[in-house]
Amino acid sequence: MQKKQNFLERVILFEWIISDNYLVILMVLVWIGIGIGVLIVLILIVKLLRTNPHSAVSFEQRCSKCGQKTNGLKCPKCDRRPSFGV
């Protein structure tokens, strides 16, 4: 009987805590989420301002092995595989 009473007291206490403070806890979580979102946006804006506009997207236009112009595709000379030693 004592265990049931302790359990019921805990449940009633937990319900009291939730019923009175759930809006406060929810609002705090919302403010924390807004703060994290603003921080992420500020970091992305700083990264955007520091990035050189010409180096944002780049790729090699020449093969690193033979130097042939590939326009970002695979090199036809270096990509060939020997076929049975022929």
Amino acid letter, residue 32:
I
Q: Are 3 and 42 found together in one domain?
A: yes
In angstroms, the CA 38 to CA 86 distance is 63
The answer to whether residues 15 and 31 belong to one domain is: yes
| Tokens 């929810």, residue located | 26
Mean pLDDT of 71-85: 70
Six-digit token string for 23: 């809006």
Is the predicted pLDDT of residue 73 greater than 70, yes or no?
yes
Q: Note the pLDDT tens digit of each residue in 32-44.
A: 999 999 999 999 9
* Same domain (yes/no): 60, 46: no
Are 42 and 30 spatial neighbours (Cβ–Cβ below 8 Å)? Answer: no
Summarised one tens digit per residue, pLDDT across range 47-65 is 988 887 776 566 657 777 7
Is the domain of 22 the same as that of 41?
A: yes
Task: State which residues form the domain around 69.
Answer: 55-86
